[in-house]
Structure 1
Amino acid sequence: MTPTSELPLKRTPLHAAHLRAGARMVPFGGWDMPVQYAGLKAEHQAVREAAGVFDVSHMGEFRIQGAGALAFLQHVTPNDVSKLRPGRAQYNWLPNDAGGLVDDIYIYMVGENEYLMVVNASNIDKDWAHLQAHVGTFDVQLSNESDRWALLAVQGPKAAAILQPHVDVDLSSKKKNAYFAAKLFGFDVMLARTGYTGEDGFEVFVDASEAETVWDKLLAIGVTPAGLGARDTLRLEAGFPLYGHEFGDDIHPLSSHYGWVVKDKAHHGRDALRQPAAQKLIGLKLEKVPVREGYPVLQGGQVVGHVTSGTSSPTLGHPIALALVRADAAEATDFEVEVRGKSHPATRTAVPFYQP
């Protein structure tokens, strides 16, 4: 087999638009993606103060239909999908049978017996195989629509005000996790009041063939293009876990602050998921030195864990990090992070690091 690093990078429908906007492109999960345009700090600030738009078209979309769709989703996820109603969305997980996650996902209820699942880009093939393996006798039909959709995330405190003159729906009537049809600049789209930045905003599901026109129109009305760099600093300030860092096949998800996802119901992987987590995810604040994934976290000179994500927070003005540490060490206040052989003091702090 050809190593992944040697495979041609996939491109989203907005690739040409990114190049026109002067984006610096980088490989990400097998995709050629924009990491920044004008600069990470400017893009981060635009989302915190006004509105920015991210291309997240590399994410995967699966449609789940049939009389057994709800029962199937209840089986493969720990959150209670029966609480959804048409036009509502829910954060959820796909647990494996070893106490880790196949992926973390979002589920949108389209209508009776019909749902849309959005999955992480690097996990599309793995998630699809996992779902197929669990269809069994459920009366359900699965379709992979990842190539059909482009997905744009318009995020920021002014997102609704900026979009409102260009949509045919009263956005003020739509609460968080709403999912609804609309016309945006005259194009038929699905909008969801969801996002990954900690700010208000809308994710726009648009036909791949129309995505570039919609993107250009968003930029024309003053929405700032933002890349993966700002997306990561924004999500980290908001304390959002990222698959492959805070979640993974071999990371117990209940080490995180997302225990609310698991409801009291039968589902695949239930027994393993309910075993006590040996580690706990904590937030750390440092004074000057930014830290990165994999850096050792120490307590009293002894390694008790490692950094899973770290950055210098553009909003707060100092370095922040998420770290997985031993559960018996997690309640302490003072830690150190080792950077190139030298220890730097770190203080445990509440997560999220920043709330609008």
Structure 2
Amino acid sequence: MMGAGSRTLLKGLGDLPAMHFGYAAEARIAGIPCRATRVSFVGELGWELRVANTDAPMLFDALRGAGAVPLGHYALDGCRLETGFKHWGHELGPMVTSLEAGLAFTIDWGKDCIGSAALLKQRSEGVRQRLVLMRIVGDALMLHDEPVFEAGRHMGMTTSGGRGPRTGLNLCFAMVETARGETLTQTCARAFIVRVAGQDYPATPLRRAPFDPEGKRMRA
């Protein structure tokens, strides 16, 4: 249940405990016991509600009756793209390190773990590829695995793409080659093109997500 009015709607249907972003608590919505987790995949205030399978239809009907409207899959994906959120299985996976994905802030460098030696080595030497969010100029149908070029040289592939419902921007994530020691700012100063169905489209790397880059809406 996501959106600026989600707190008001849920409280109107029952007992929604106060909680900070990233926390979970037991709740009762429309008389149905559930576990509410305050997270967001779309960059908006919201909760994920976990209920027993048998209770899910009743909860769904109660939310619809209170004015909630289902969000389509492509709109959902477009929202997370314009918020700059990565998706496991597209941007993230066992072949991508946290440094390459721009998630260094999630690493506790003081702890030893499987792969920590490799991460320390990569941090010291610099990444050779980097995940970047790009704005596509034109009406290309962005999905995933479209080739990315720079000055005629193949530099990587897109990992996912779509149009942001709130910004109207055509966006994609792409994993591109980088020089050792190249900063994100330097990568964003480069000029790329993405080839879709045999046609080339200019692709501008974005230093920050185009929608609420500080995440204020989902932490409201």
Show the counterpart of 2:195: 338
Matches within 5 A, 1:134-213: 154-170=1-17, 173-213=18-58
Show the counterpart of 1:320: 171
Q: CA RMSD in A?
A: 1.8
TM-score by length of 2: 0.84
| Aligned residue among 99, 103, 109 for 1:254 | 99
Write the distance in 2 (CA, Å) between the matches of 1:285 and 1:189. Answer: 39
Deviations 1:189-236 (A, max 9, x none): 111111211111011111122111111111110111123222211111
| Aligned residue among 274, 297, 302 for 2:153 | 302
Show the counterpart of 1:278: 128
Show the counterpart of 2:89: 244
Deviations 1:143-175 (A, max 9, x none): xxxxxxxxxxx01111001111222244xx322
Show the counterpart of 1:268: 114
Count of matched residue pairs: 201
Write the distance in 2 (CA, Å) between the matches of 1:156 and 1:229. Answer: 16
| Aligned residue among 165, 188, 207 for 1:350 | 207
Code of the residue aligned with 1:274 in structure 2: it is L
Matched position secondary structure for 1:176:
coil
Show the counterpart of 1:288: 138
Code of the residue aligned with 2:107 in structure 1: it is V
Matched position secondary structure for 1:305:
strand
Write the distance in 2 (CA, Å) between the matches of 1:348 and 1:267. Answer: 32
Deviation at 1:253, TM superposition (A): 2.9
Deviation at 1:321, TM superposition (A): 1.1
Matched position secondary structure for 2:47:
strand
In structure 1, stretches of 5+ residues that fail to align are 1-153
Deviations 1:53-91 (A, max 9, x none): xxxxxxxxxxxxxxxxxxxxxxxxxxxxxxxxxxxxxxx
Does the CA-based 8 Å contact 1:284-1:349 persist in structure 2?
A: yes
Write the distance in 1 (CA, Å) between the matches of 2:45 and 2:58. Answer: 23
- Residues 331, 317 of structure 1: CA spacing in aligned structure 2 closer, same or farther, 3 A cutoff? closer
In structure 2, stretches of 5+ residues that fail to align are none
Matches within 5 A, 1:30-179: 154-170=1-17, 173-179=18-24
Write the distance in 1 (CA, Å) between the matches of 2:176 and 2:121. Answer: 17
Does the CA-based 8 Å contact 1:196-1:235 persist in structure 2?
A: yes
Code of the residue aligned with 1:315 in structure 2: it is R
Deviation at 1:333, TM superposition (A): 3.4
Matched position secondary structure for 1:254:
coil
Write the distance in 1 (CA, Å) between the matches of 2:25 and 2:145. Answer: 40
Write the distance in 2 (CA, Å) between the matches of 1:231 and 1:331. Answer: 26
- Residues 227, 318 of structure 1: CA spacing in aligned structure 2 closer, same or farther, 3 A cutoff? closer
Give % identity: 27
Write the distance in 2 (CA, Å) between the matches of 1:189 and 1:315. Answer: 30
Deviation at 1:244, TM superposition (A): 1.6
Deviations 1:91-124 (A, max 9, x none): xxxxxxxxxxxxxxxxxxxxxxxxxxxxxxxxxx
Matched position secondary structure for 1:225:
coil
Deviations 1:332-354 (A, max 9, x none): 33211112233221111133221
Write the distance in 1 (CA, Å) between the matches of 2:161 and 2:105. Answer: 24
TM-score by length of 1: 0.53
Matched position secondary structure for 1:224:
coil
Deviation at 1:273, TM superposition (A): 3.5
Does the CA-based 8 Å contact 1:168-1:182 persist in structure 2?
A: yes
Show the counterpart of 1:132: none
Code of the residue aligned with 1:224 in structure 2: it is V
